[in-house]
Amino acid sequence: MKIGFIGLGNMGGPMAANLAAAGHEVTGFDVAGTGAEGVRVAQSAEDAARAAEVVITMLPNGEILREVAATIHPVMKAGAVHLDCSTVDVASARHVAEAATAAGLRALDAPVSGGVGGATGGTLTFMVGGDASAFETATPLFEIMGQKAVHCGAAGNGQAAKICNNMILGATMIATCEAFALADKLGLERQAMFDVVSTASGYSWSMNAYCPAPGIGPKSPADNGYQPGFAADLMLKDLRLSQQAAEEVDADTPMGRAALELYSQFVEQEDGAGRDFSAMLPRFEKRGRS
């Protein structure tokens, strides 16, 4: 398959390399001039998109996605698929899908979960919204880049699934870190805390698979000085997207709003920038009840 790939950063680069390694003809472009193994470097986004059967975008935000879409849609061949793997606001995803349809193209919004490790290892999970026939076309590519792809329905629903998932993740990580800090002050050993909660009604992905306490549970960023697996900065971005969406549809999300406020304080006013989102634990360790 001829594939254009726009956005060859920490996530897009390994994803494009995996597609090339699987035998696809991949042409990539990144404004920073970066490349990826096995990927032909294009001189522009239009060059990467022209003649491709599928054009994949992995971009920082909705505004840039809209700009790139307006640039590439006119040069893409009729019936081609614009597969956007960025994490952006739902409104931008739906705008781009409408623009693609108007240009005689098919569109999918397919944000990912799994981080850089998942992108490199080809174990990402894709949450996909958009045209069913486009999903069928892209399925072989999902199988190379990831371990699971779920078609969530109409355009924008992939982004909706991503931000709802990460709103849960942000809130549960905060609760997990609060509980460990409380357990410490109550004299409860962390290993005992983990052994109980991980097999009781308080279990969660944040506790069982990504424990924020160093030396407890499976290896996680906590065991590497909280170097990011999933950066607090990115959690803040996703929580902002969740609350933007909630405001647009008049949804009451007090826990999501509280998580946003805490991560905003952690990243922008404290020492959370550049650290893993589970570094909330040392934050709570140092704090008393206000």
Catalytic residues: 162
Amino acid letter, residue 234: L
93, 81, 63: which is closest to 5 by C-alpha? Answer: 81
What CA–CA distance (Å, rounded) separates 269 from 127? 32
Q: How far apart are the first and last CA of the chain?
A: 58
What CA–CA distance (Å, rounded) separates 188 from 182? 9
Long-range Cβ contacts of 260-263 (<8 Å, 24+ apart) = 260/170, 260/236, 262/174, 263/170, 263/232, 263/235, 263/236, 263/239
For the chain, give the longest Cα–Cα distance. Answer: 65
The conformational region for residue 51 under phi > 0 = left, psi -120 to 50 = alpha, else beta, is left
